[in-house]
Amino acid sequence: MAEEARTENVVIPAEEGEQLIIQPLGAGQEVGRSCIMLSFKGKKIMLDCGIHPGMNGYASLPFLDSVDVEEIDLLLVSHFHLDHCGALPFFLEKTKFKGRCFMTHASKAIYRWLLSDYVKVSNISTDDMLYSEADLVNSMDKIETVNFHQETEINGVKFWCYTAGHVLGAAMFMIEIAGVKILYTGDYSRQEDRHLMAAELPNVRPDVVIIESTYGVHIHEKREDREGRFTGLVHDIVNRGGRCLIPVFALGRAQELLLILDEYWSNHPELHDIPIYYASSLAKKCMSVYQTYINAMNDKIKKQITMSNPFVFKHIINLKSMEQFEDIGPSVVLASPGMMQSGLSRELFEAWCTDKRNGCIIAGYCVEGTLAKHILSEPEEIVTMTGQKLQLKCSVDYISFSAHADYQQTSEFLRELKPPHVVLVHGEANEMGRLKAALVREYEDNEEYKMDVHNPRNTVGVELHFRGEKMAKVVGSLAAQKPKDGQQISGILVKRNFNYHVMAPEDLPNYTDLAMSTVTQRLSIAYTGTIPLLQFYLTQLAGDMEHIKVKEKPALRVFKSVTIIFDSTRMVVVEWTSNPVTDMYADAVVTVILRAERDPMPQKAVPRAIRVDKHHFQECMLDMIQEMFGPDATSKLIRGDKMTVTVDDNTAIVDLDTLEVTSASESLQSIVHTAVNRLHQAVTPLKS
Amino acid sequence: MTSIIKLHVFSGALDESPPCYLLQVDEFRFLLDCGWSENFDMTMIKELKRYVNQIDAVLLSYPDNIHLGALPYLIGKCGLTCPIYATIPVYKMGQMFMYDLYQSQHNTSDFDLFTLDDVDLAFDKITQLKYSQTVTLKGKGHGLQITPLPAGHMIGGTIWKIVKDGEEEIVYAVDYNHKKERHLNGCSLEMFNRPSLMITDTYNASYTQSRRRLRDEQLMTTILQTMRNDGNVLVAMDTAGRMLELAQLLDQMWRSTESGLSTYSLALLNNVSFNVIEFAKSQVEWMSDKIMRAFEDNRNNPYQFKHLKLCHNLAELSRIPEPKVVLASTPDLQSGYSRDLFIAWCGNSKNSIVLTTRTSPGTLARELIDNPQLRCITIDVQRRVKLEGAELEEYQRKKQDKGLNDSRSKIQQMTIEDESSDESEAEMDVDGLYHLKGKHDLMMKSEGKARTGFFKQAKKAYPMFHFHEEKIRWDEYGEIIKPEDYTIAEIVQPEEEVKKPEKGPEDEKMQEVTDLPTKCVSSTVTLDVNARIQYIDFEGRSDGESMRKILERVKPRQLVLVRGTPAATETLAEFCTSSSLIQGKIFQPKVGDSIDATTESRIFQAKLRDHLVTSLNFSTARDVELAWIDAQLNYIESDEPVDSNTLSEERNKKEKDSELIPTLDCLPSNKVPTHTSVFINEPKLSDFKLVLLQEKIPCVFVAGVLICDNKVAVRRNKAGKIQLEGTLCNEYYRVRDLLYQQYAIV
């Protein structure tokens, strides 16, 4: 029965596996199309789902075909940049993904407009389009929002997020599966700036940290120096009568620059005549998001909001289109795109680059092959969009406002968290390699703490092993007394989402929404014989029988669990409460009834029930022993309640009361023991 | 192992006084809410004062006076210093409630129970949380976790979950609203399952609401009728809680072109209206799914009002053309602009007055609700007037005296300081105080306010140079500022009845700067009430019916019923007893009672050996896996090598700290006891029918009995257990097999 089943070697279900696999589908030794798969204990989680900005169409997607999308339980999106959420509408609308998707409130609000802009701008052929505006709108329904620090549990996967600092709404996710904690930083920055807080330091220690490595081993300039240099440069350019062009990415760092400029202008009344233009319709759309999700920003902004909204700028003019722009005299223009591939920033640059009074300030991370990267090498000439060559006379400066962690921040962050495993993602192969080497070097002499640093390539999984410890809570009546050493515990183990509880069956409804229940069975069988006849047959089967009355009808109860009711002269009803044992008894009873029905005997012919008493059993046993070991093995008569069996000089003594056998020879003992017990079982009726 | 759970009631039990309870879990004491009634009842405070030093943490559930009103007094005057937990909106809006309450009181009377500084001090102590953010307490509260969960009713409204050792769950849920509203989602009580203790109110236990649409229509009709008759409507509302719901509703009504309301004026009048709306705008993520979606999809912020004008005093209001609908605080008509407007408008039968909340008994609003036929009432009218004639001279003379005294004491102080070698603490205190004073209110510096036309004019009318002379009294060491100095400086703020053209009350300087001597006078007047007075329920609480349903779902093991009339409490207690929902006790404490809800928490932890788990035979029922386990408890340290990779250091440490955790190990096979099999998770007959049909066994329901193939019947007997009946045939055994498959049998 139940015990037998347990002794079988049960195959461990796959989900009990203790292997944690971290597999980048994108952003493995590259920057762009962040997408990382986690799988542990049968749970599959995807982190981010971006596109590669340097590629088009399907080529820009992460390697989604190397996983079974249907099996993914959860998708967490860290922030609204295209390389982290760009493939999301495709993934949610055009794949078989059935899990749930989460991001923060601010990310979701900006995602909607950023991707809508991307759909409009990306001028690839319609067959190659990953998704349309309609897909984007539909995808909004499938995205759920979480607040920072809010804990959410989905099928045993618990997660919550910390602020990451990188852009508004950027989150670092802490994921806990069966006690193993994994931190995914997304893009993060540990430096507080004008509107965002620094990335938080989680107060729990993760077992694995998946961390960005964009800047490798670089170290950033101090914030004050950087801002000073920036405002100084802008001031110089407009002072010398020039126009200052700042190509920026529409959202994210641009807001930071605007805050800096707005404040600088407020402090310098002499500059009030010089206009600052901000040319991005997307940014205008998203300004209300910035004005609303103040709670995701730093304390300074939160305090300021009580007086006036800092994102209602006083000195910045929003530029709807180029027609609106009157290019007369000095001005400051922030225009997208940030790397001057095309669009407004390119147009303005081409118009202004020939005048040496003008200046261009590159404020962000530039990718190889773009004009922004090219002019940083200070060429003599540039090529315009139309193929014309222009002399580059204006000043070009590079001040990085990119909010990614540098080596110092990464190193400190990891030093605080001390994770046993670090997985590097989101970094160009060489930078990543350098960072790995630097981190390994940092801890190579440390004996107490060892950090494993991994930098997997795309689709290559890092396998980590966690032998999760299983803790069970013993509750209810089983735990009524203080636990003692060696105490036996028998009860039901309830496993839900990697939590184990042990309780007595009666406590089940108190601690779970399950209940113990019973099934009673009533089986009607045609029986035309008499009661004594059935009684006769039953006594041969069952050792205990009671005569009872059920609803004024005669009934028999055997094995203390099965009731046979004589319903009418033609029918008996067998009634019992199900469980494997009683089902077996009932089956036996049914067989007996069928036998009695088939083999009717007149009332008088019913023999007296055979009395199976000790004496009878002893006679049977003597016969059996003599059959087995020869007539000389034992004496013909039994004195007392002991019987001696002698075989080949070995002697076994059988206790007739307890049926225990003692002998010097082990083989004899077991032979006799088995024989005696089997005989007993065969001769005497069953008792429950 | 037992954990002690006790609850002491300061206020809010078997009556309608504000909630304030002391919950003790083992050594740790939580103050659950600390409301203060509209008339600032001191008896409760006196009682509470005795316990102030014992309180380890305060949990706030809503931002209104009823739930946190006594906080500034406790912090400022009783020396409460423990941490306070609240959600971000409760923090922000709570502050608004307190500022408005202070200002409303201050405008008409010498209010000295707490100052704005006390409010700031109190709110600085608040740890701001998000919903579902779990805080693990340290020190004395080791092993305790608190989590705020959405409760509806007001923005940021909280149901507190207190968990002891990850198992014992205490739920504090009062005034929750399970229904979705315009601006809020419903509460999330249904996620609880059998908490060990639930503390809930019975305020609405025997109350039935009309449907929301009817109430909305009633308000709409009242407004339309009054407007068309050229009358004004006063809607008495709270400062920043339920007001948000109604403000949004009204603005929507005004926006719809069919309503024909757009020609009339709509105004929000309280001392902090600008800030409240600003905060509401930045708390979209705390509001209903619908609002969040609207914002995400279209960037529509519902608190970007088109029609609702924000006013801060009666002068601003008077500039808005009549007829107008005014949402004014406070809801109880005891103080604030709503009282002023009530006095001004109640005599005119054209006007309408809408009450939205059943405030405490004894308040003016409640009196009007309870006696709808009341045609004439006598009330005290308090107002602040300028000092004149002899009084003014007296005042100035006193002030001079004080000045003299001050300088005298200053000299004394200085001599004392000279004597003391180290830095005097007194001096530090004064500095600290001054500092606080300087930065106090967020609302004060409001520049945004400067944009409204009224504000600028107001500024011109009252230049504020008086004050700098006062400042001369400060020297570099600071002087001993007697508390009286402060009080007077604050009280002397002229806010006269109708003519109030001075600066908006947000202006910080006003508190200290205005030095126009005023006094408060009080007179008793009898008013004819001719205006139409209506009570339309916009309280946003679950009604009795829903409360019972929610309790049925939650099924707490023990229940404490608080806040509600004795009759209501009795009704709910009766319901729980009769339906035997609660296994444990149902407590109905009264004010001043202490109850002991300690239960034996039968629980201990044990490690599961891997080979034990792998030997188990799991069967599934719903989302759980079940197995019968026979094991032996061992207190021996595991002999397996501890792999540093697998056990985090944290866990190791924890093990060492706490007592040794026993291990559950396999029993030797010959010692395994037998057990009776247990059938778990009874299927529904209707579900079972589907299973049978799938197996192509014809079956039909006949009078609640499932008849399969005309041979086998499956029914529920009187005890609700499933019974299988049939004649001996193959089908019987087939059906039985299928039935067994529906259970988890261990």
Please tell me the predicted confidence (pLDDT) of residue A281.
77
* CB B725, CB B712: distance < 8 Å: yes
Q: What is the pLDDT of residues B681-729, one digit of tens each?
A: 888 888 888 888 888 888 888 888 889 888 899 988 877 788 899 988 8
Please tell me the predicted confidence (pLDDT) of residue B263.
87
Query: Please, what is the average pLDDT of chain B?
Result: 81
Q: Which residues contact A200 (CB under 8 A, 6 or more apart)?
A: A162, A163, A172
Note if A404 is an active site residue. yes
Between CA B108 and CA B308 the distance in angstroms is 26
Band of residue A125 on the pLDDT scale cut at 50, 70, 90: low
* CB B676, CB B742: distance < 8 Å: no
Please tell me the predicted confidence (pLDDT) of residue B417.
52
Structure tokens, A481: 């007394």
Please tell me the predicted confidence (pLDDT) of residue B385.
81
Tell me which residue of B67, B300, B62, B290 sits closest to B185, measured CA to CA: B290
How confident is the model over B31-55, as a mean pLDDT?
A: 90
Between CA B626 and CA A74 the distance in angstroms is 26
Between CA B385 and CA B491 the distance in angstroms is 11
B611 contacts chain A (CB < 8 A): no
Q: Do A480 and B728 touch (CB under 8 A)?
A: no
Phi, psi of A72 (to 5 degrees): -75, 130
- A-proximal residues of B, 475-534, CB under 8 Å: none
3-state secondary structure of B195: coil
- Which amino acid is residue B261, in one-letter code? L
Band of residue A346 on the pLDDT scale cut at 50, 70, 90: confident
Q: Which H/E stretch holds residue B461?
A: helix B453-461
CA B438, B444, B450, B451 dihedral sign is positive
Neighbouring CB atoms inside 10 A of A219's CB total: 11
CA distance B31 to chain A (A): 24
Residue to substitute from A151, A289, A292, interface B, most B β-carbons within 10 A: A292
Q: Do A471 and B728 touch (CB under 8 A)?
A: no
User: Helices then strands (H, E): number in chain B?
Assistant: 24, 34
Q: What is the pLDDT of residues B302-343, one digit of tens each?
A: 898 989 999 998 889 999 988 899 999 889 888 889 999 999
Indicate whether B347 pLDDT > 50: yes
Indicate whether B354 pLDDT > 90: yes
Neighbouring CB atoms inside 10 A of A527's CB total: 24
For residue B623, the chain A residues in CB contact (below 8 A) are 155, 496-497
Least confident of A617-631, A637-651, B240-254, B490-504: B490-504
Between CA A658 and CA A236 the distance in angstroms is 109
Residue to substitute from A40, A299, A500, A592, interface B, most B β-carbons within 10 A: A500
> Which residue of the set A404, A421, A426, A454 is catalytic?
A404
**C-alpha angle A195-A260-A86 in degrees, rounded to nearest 5:** 55
Please tell me the predicted confidence (pLDDT) of residue A409.
92
Between CA A421 and CA A434 the distance in angstroms is 17
Q: What is the pLDDT of residues A23-47, one digit of tens each?
A: 999 999 988 899 999 999 889 999 9
Between CA B720 and CA A519 the distance in angstroms is 10
For residue B732, the chain A residues in CB contact (below 8 A) are 523
Pairing of strands A208-212, A243-247: unpaired
Between CA A220 and CA A663 the distance in angstroms is 88
Tell me which residue of B567, B556, B562 sits closest to B588, measured CA to CA: B562
For residue B293, the chain A residues in CB contact (below 8 A) are 140
CB burial readout B176-206, b (16+ within 10 A) else e = bbbbebbbbbbbbbeebebbbbbbbbbbbbb
Please tell me the predicted confidence (pLDDT) of residue B637.
54
Tell me which residue of B533, B531, B563, B535 sits closest to B547, measured CA to CA: B563
How confident is the model over A487-492, as a mean pLDDT?
A: 85
Between CA A215 and CA A409 the distance in angstroms is 10
Neighbouring CB atoms inside 10 A of A129's CB total: 14
B730 contacts chain A (CB < 8 A): no
Least confident of A294-303, A483-492, B459-468: B459-468
Please tell me the predicted confidence (pLDDT) of residue B438.
42
Phi, psi of B625 (to 5 degrees): -110, 140
Nearest Cβ partner of B604 from A149, A483, A508? A483
Residue to substitute from B85, B278, B604, B620, interface A, most A β-carbons within 10 A: B604
Q: What is the pLDDT of residues B595-607, one digit of tens each?
A: 998 877 677 888 8
Q: Do B724 and A521 touch (CB under 8 A)?
A: yes
Q: Do A513 and B131 touch (CB under 8 A)?
A: no
Between CA B205 and CA B573 the distance in angstroms is 10
Phi, psi of A9 (to 5 degrees): -80, 105
Nearest Cβ partner of A496 from B278, B623, B746? B623
Q: Which residues contact A673 (CB under 8 A, 6 or more apart)?
A: A659, A660, A661
B434 contacts chain A (CB < 8 A): no
More confident residue, A583 or A15: A583
Indicate whether A4 pLDDT > 90: no
DSSP conformation class of A553: E
3-state secondary structure of B643: coil
Q: What is the pLDDT of residues A263-294, one digit of tens each?
A: 899 999 988 888 998 887 787 788 888 888 88
The structure tokens 């596996």 sit at A17
For the CA atoms of A105, A110, A116, A117, what is the dihedral angle to 10 degrees? -170
Between CA A383 and CA A374 the distance in angstroms is 11
User: Given its phi and psi angles, is residue A58 left (phi above 0), alpha (psi -120 to 50 degrees) or beta?
Assistant: alpha
Indicate whether A329 pLDDT > 60: yes
Q: What is the pLDDT of residues B540-569, one digit of tens each?
A: 999 999 999 999 888 888 999 999 999 999
Q: Which residues contact B541 (CB under 8 A, 6 or more apart)?
A: B153, B175, B176, B177, B203, B204
Between CA A349 and CA A338 the distance in angstroms is 12
Indicate whether A486 pLDDT > 70: yes
Strand partners, B197: B170
Q: Do A494 and B625 touch (CB under 8 A)?
A: yes
Q: Do A492 and B626 touch (CB under 8 A)?
A: yes
| Closest-approach residue (CA) in chain B for A519 | B722
| Closest-approach residue (CA) in chain B for A480 | B602
Indicate whether B243 pLDDT > 90: yes
Indicate whether A14 pLDDT > 70: no
* CB A108, CB A92: distance < 8 Å: no
More confident residue, B459 or B366: B366
Between CA A482 and CA A475 the distance in angstroms is 11
The structure tokens 């923060």 sit at A104
Q: What is the pLDDT of residues A388-442, one digit of tens each?
A: 888 999 999 988 888 889 999 999 999 999 999 999 999 889 989 999 999 999 8
Structure tokens, B746: 């261990």
For the CA atoms of B81, B82, B87, B88, what is the dihedral angle to 10 degrees? 40
Band of residue A639 on the pLDDT scale cut at 50, 70, 90: low
Q: Do B675 and A490 touch (CB under 8 A)?
A: yes
Neighbouring CB atoms inside 10 A of A488's CB total: 13
Q: Which H/E stretch holds residue B367?
A: helix B364-370
For residue A520, the chain B residues in CB contact (below 8 A) are 717, 721-724
Q: What is the pLDDT of residues A126-141, one digit of tens each?
A: 567 888 899 999 999 9
For the CA atoms of A413, A418, A422, A425, what is the dihedral angle to 10 degrees? -10
Neighbouring CB atoms inside 10 A of A628's CB total: 14
Q: Which residues contact B316 (CB under 8 A, 6 or more apart)?
A: B269, B452, B454, B504
| Closest-approach residue (CA) in chain B for A109 | B296
> Could you tell me how far CA A431 lies from the centroid of its own chain?
30
| Closest-approach residue (CA) in chain B for A571 | B727
Indicate whether B654 pLDDT > 50: no
Q: Is B6 exposed, middle or buried (0-12, 13-18, 19+ CB in 10 A)?
A: middle
Band of residue B535 on the pLDDT scale cut at 50, 70, 90: very high
CA distance B141 to chain A (A): 18
Between CA A541 and CA A592 the distance in angstroms is 8
Band of residue A17 on the pLDDT scale cut at 50, 70, 90: low
Structure tokens, B175: 């005034």
Indicate whether A558 pLDDT > 70: yes
- Which amino acid is residue B653, in one-letter code? K
How confident is the model over A663-674, as a mean pLDDT?
A: 85
Q: What is the pLDDT of residues B428-465, one digit of tens each?
A: 444 444 444 444 444 444 444 434 333 333 334 444 55
Band of residue B506 on the pLDDT scale cut at 50, 70, 90: very low
Least confident of A42-51, A542-551, B337-346: A542-551
| Closest-approach residue (CA) in chain A for B445 | A307
Please tell me the predicted confidence (pLDDT) of residue B649.
45
Q: How many contacts, defined by CB atoms under 8 Å, are there between A and B? A: 301
Q: What is the pTM of this model?
A: 0.79
Pairing of strands B624-634, B663-666: antiparallel
Q: What is the pLDDT of residues A308-319, one digit of tens each?
A: 778 888 888 888
Residue to substitute from B645, B653, B658, interface A, most A β-carbons within 10 A: B645
3-state secondary structure of A291: helix
Q: Do A292 and B295 touch (CB under 8 A)?
A: yes
Least confident of A388-397, A634-643, B475-484, B650-659: B650-659
Between CA A185 and CA A622 the distance in angstroms is 83
Q: Which H/E stretch holds residue B353?
A: strand B352-355
Between CA B690 and CA A670 the distance in angstroms is 53
- First CA to last CA distance, chain B: 29
User: Which contacts of A655-660 are long-range, i.e. CB under 8 A and separated by 24 or more positions?
Assistant: A656/A614, A656/A618, A656/A621
3-state secondary structure of B184: coil
Strand partners, A102: A76, A144
Question: ω into residue B330 within 30 of 0, thus cis?
Answer: yes
Q: What is the CA radius of gyration of chain A?
A: 41
Q: What is the pLDDT of residues B199-215, one digit of tens each?
A: 999 999 888 888 889 99
Band of residue B171 on the pLDDT scale cut at 50, 70, 90: very high
Please tell me the predicted confidence (pLDDT) of residue B470.
54
3-state secondary structure of A146: strand
Between CA A473 and CA B167 the distance in angstroms is 9
Between CA A110 and CA A107 the distance in angstroms is 5
Q: Do A291 and B281 touch (CB under 8 A)?
A: yes
Q: What is the pLDDT of residues A372-381, one digit of tens each?
A: 888 888 888 8
Between CA B494 and CA B378 the distance in angstroms is 26
